[in-house]
Chains A and B, each alone.
Chain A
Amino acid sequence: MKTLKIEELSKNFGSTEVLKKINLDIDEGNFLVLLGPSGCGKSTLLNIIAGLETINEGDVFIDDYNVSKVEPKDRNIAMVFQSYALYPSMNVKENMIFGLKQAKTSKEKIQEQLEKVSKFLQVDQLLERKPSQLSGGQRQRVAIGRALVREPRIFLFDEPLSNLDAKLRVEMRREIKKLHQQLKTTVVYVTHDQTEAMSLGTNIAIMNHGVIQQNDTPEMIYNKPSNTFVADFIGSPSMNLIKGILKENSGDLLFTVSGSNLEIPIKDYDFKDKSYLNNKEVFFGIRPEHIFFKKFNESDFEINLRADLSEYIGHEQIMTFDYANQEVLAKFPSTIKIDLGKETKLYFDLTQASLFDAQTEERI
């Protein structure tokens, strides 16, 4: 039994298709992050799960029960919003118990839930305050508390940290992670921030243009991106994608850029389909953090590239190198000194490399 299951879901606003045949499911207790650039449909998907948006095609199941036509309040979900959406005219207590009151819960039960949750979230001192008298972090906590008192099957978070300042965001991120560890409730979490997604999710679904590009664990998303969009979206700076072709040379496979003598041997690469590789146009993908200034692993591949640019950012520096007129970025400790305009010896960790078909942009 899946806690949440989405089947062939499509949604359009007028003539614009927002979601195209989405399939997705989550096991009990998992933390699914919907990640993508703005306008990719991730918030719409969350609203559909909540029942706040109608569906054009497909179905949503919660605990194997089709809830596609069920009212939001009867779906056994709770939602935390980006703007917190605390009712301005009610105090913290009234905010937190509003839902229980609507559901005609008994007074004793309401009181019990309120005490438990407000203690747990450390907002028990704030119960009489109005939302306008709270700080950003406190409001966030009350918003989470309002969701918690309902004891839902699924928590929905819609960019809950976007309105906080950088420091508080990191703190609240840790708190949400702890919360999930303690409660083990299923979570669907929408964000456009890859750090948030990576650190919180047990699963990440990366979306673009209304399609799920990859739904995997954070490790797989980072190490084995399924297409160039995912490769480019995750990581900062993002993965280098060097355009070239594959050449077969007496049984060995080489990556090369036409008109250049730079060649990278492709060995032990886990191809999905080993046929038709010769002369295939591909992107060779390698992350900046997998390019080194000295040999760390025996298998590291040595290559000479010209350094063009250095960006100092404190704990590290981002160097731009020239690879047959394509830019290659590498991340080094800021203590390393590299002369600009000169050929520099670099080492690629080829076990971490990815190859993508240049036409379909899919991983090969």
Chain B
Amino acid sequence: MQDSLKSSSYQQLEQKSKYTNMFLRWFLYFILILFASYFIFPLYVMVVTSLKTMEEIRQGTLLSWPSGLNIESWAVAWGGRGYGAGDTFLRPYFWNSIKMVVPAVFFSTFIGAMTGYVLTKWRFKGDQWVFLFLLFGCFIPFQAILLPMARTLGVLGISNSVIGLVLVHTVYGIPFTTLFFRNYYISVPTELVKAARIDGAGFFKIFFKILLPISAPIIVVTVIWQFTQIWNDFLFGSTFSFGEAAPIQVALNNMVLSSTSVKEYNVDMASAIIAGIPTLIVYVLAGKYFIRGLTSGAVKG
């Protein structure tokens, strides 16, 4: 008697918790969709605006659908209208940015990996101070180093050049990349290094043969971080370069702000998207490796 009473009340409870769960789940989805739309909305506006003609933009609303795939504004943003003076378009500056980003990301990541390796696996007296001062670099605001950096670039004779920007971004990136690699390598057992030393491997061999091959996850993190930082940088670009040597963000700014005649919103939007695409690609490509735990179970039991 009592048993059946119990079981029926359990059933009620079970039913009740089922409904509660269902409600909470739908509520969760609702919130998530709300936030997702909030973030996707600007992108939507940019994409549709870039596909409209100026006529449509003037007559329609912000949200209205374009009449067709009008990609002329994209062509203008990328390659210009074809007349001489005063025609600013993104193509040359895009390549400037690539020429700046690739070496800067490579060198800052590589140097960061090296420093992280030394700071964790070849400890020396006072290494924690070196690390502390490197960390300081993460907290120094960009603006504070503009003048000394400009002077340095002048002395080196590489101001207003892509090489100059590569140097600036590499140097400014090292504190961050070092932090990443140091925190990663500290979890790699030092016994690996000891074993390799007994096996006769030296400083560089251990780095290239033992540590770098297991660093894929942190390399991806660092590359994403550095690429985004350097690609999106405006301050260094606008301070240390002008005219032909400028990176894409500076060119985008010039293009949007300096047009004297009518504001061409469709071209502006297309340019902004073009300037943003590479970071997006890096996220999509590297994100896959991001979650792969390449060292999982390799060193521990």
B43 to chain A, nearest CB (A): 39
Contact yes or no, B191 A83, CB < 8 A:
yes
Interface size class of A (residues with CB under 8 A): 20 to 34
Residues on B with beta carbons closer than 8 Å to the beta carbon of A187: none
Bits for A86-125, please: 1 = Cβ < 8 Å to B, else 0: 1111000000001100110000000000000000000000
What chain A residues lie within 8 Å of B209 (beta carbons)?
87, 89
Asked whether B195 lies within 8 Å of A79 as measured between CB atoms, the reply is yes
Assembled-state Cα–Cα distance A291/B196 (Å):
51
Is A164 among interface residues, defined by CB-CB distance under 8 A?
A: yes
Q: Which residues of B contact A78 (CB under 8 A)?
A: 198
List chain B residues, Cβ under 8 A from A89. 209-210, 213-214
- Chain B contacts of A52 at CB under 8 A? 194, 197-198
On whether the beta carbons of A73 and B301 are closer than 8 Å, the reply is no
Residues of B within 8 A of A221 (CB): none
Binds B, one of A128-136, A178-186, A313-321, A333-341: A128-136
Which of B194, B196, B205, B210 lies in contact with A50, CB distance below 8 A? B194
How distant is A328 from chain B, measured CB to nearest CB, in Å?
A: 40
Scoring B194, B196, B198 by chain A CB atoms within 10 A of each residue's CB, the highest score goes to: B198
Q: Which of A88, A98, A139 contacts B295 (CB 8 A)?
A: A88
Closest to A81 in B: B191
Q: Which residues of B contact A (CB under 8 A)?
A: 189, 191-192, 194-201, 205, 209-210, 213-214, 294-301
Q: A85-B189, A102-B201 are in contact. Are A131 and B298 (CB under 8 A)?
A: yes
A77–B213 Cα distance when bound, in Å, is 27
Residue numbers in B under 8 Å from A102 (CB-CB): 199-201, 205
Q: Within 8 Å CB of A86, what residues of B?
A: 298-299
User: Smallest Cβ distance from A8 to chain B, in angstroms?
Assistant: 25
Q: Which of B194, B201, B298 sits near A81, CB closer than 8 Å?
A: B194
Query: CB within 8 A of B300: which of A72, A73, A87, A163?
Result: A163
What 4 A-B pairs have minimum CB-CB distances, sorted nearest first? A88-B298, A89-B213, A102-B200, A99-B199
Find chain B residues with CB under 8 A from A73 CB.
197-200
A51 to B254, CA, bound (A): 62
Tell me the complex Cα distance, A227–B294, Å. Answer: 50
> How many A-B contacts are there with CB distance less than 8 Å?
82
Nearest-neighbour CB distance to chain B for A140, whole angstroms, equals 8
Chain A contacts with B in 37-67, Cβ cutoff 8 A? 47, 50-52
Q: Quote the shortest CB–CB distance from B195 to chain A (angstroms).
A: 4
A132→B297 contact, CB < 8 A: yes
> What would 11 A/B residue contacts be, using CB atoms closer than 8 Å?
A50-B198, A52-B198, A73-B198, A78-B198, A83-B300, A84-B301, A98-B199, A99-B200, A102-B199, A102-B205, A132-B298
A99 to B202, CA, bound (A): 12
Determine whether A30 belongs to the interface, using a CB cutoff of 8 Å to chain B: no
Task: Decide: B197 and A83 in contact? CB cutoff 8 A.
Answer: no
Asked if residues A99 and B198 are in contact (CB atoms below 8 Å), the reply is yes
By a CB distance below 8 angstroms, the chain A residues around B295 are 88, 132
Asked if A214 lies at the interface with its beta carbon under 8 angstroms from chain B, I say: no
User: How far is it, in angstroms, between the C-alpha of A73 and the C-alpha of B198 when the chains are bound?
Assistant: 5
A213 within 8 A of partner (CB): no
Among candidates B200, B300, B301, residue contacting A103 with C-beta atoms closer than 8 Å: B200
Interface residues of A in 149-193 (CB under 8 A from B): 158, 163-164
Is B213 in contact with A85, judged by CB distance below 8 angstroms? no
Is there a chain B Cβ closer than 8 Å to A344's Cβ?
Answer: no
* A77/B299 in contact, CB under 8 A: no
Q: What residues of A have a CB within 8 angstroms of the CB of B191 in the complex?
A: 81-83, 85, 158
Q: Assess A87 versus B192: contact at CB under 8 Å? Given A130-B298, A163-B300.
A: yes
Which residues on A sit within 8 Å (CB–CB) of B213?
A: 88-89
A47 vs B190: C-alpha distance when bound (angstroms): 12
Q: Which residues of B contact A99 (CB under 8 A)?
A: 198-200
**In whole angstroms, what is the CA distance A246 to B300 when docked?**
54
* B301 partner residues in chain A, CB cutoff 8 A: 83-84, 136, 139, 163-164
B198 touches A87 (CB 8 A): no
CA distance A132 to B198 in the complex (A): 22
- With CB as the reference atom, state the residue of chain A lying closest to B197: A72
Residues B194 and A85 in contact, CB atoms below 8 Å apart: yes
Q: How far is the CB of B125 from chain A (nearest CB, A)?
A: 9
- Contacting residue for A88 out of B194, B197, B214, CB 8 A: B214
Q: Are B194 and A87 in contact (CB under 8 A)?
A: no
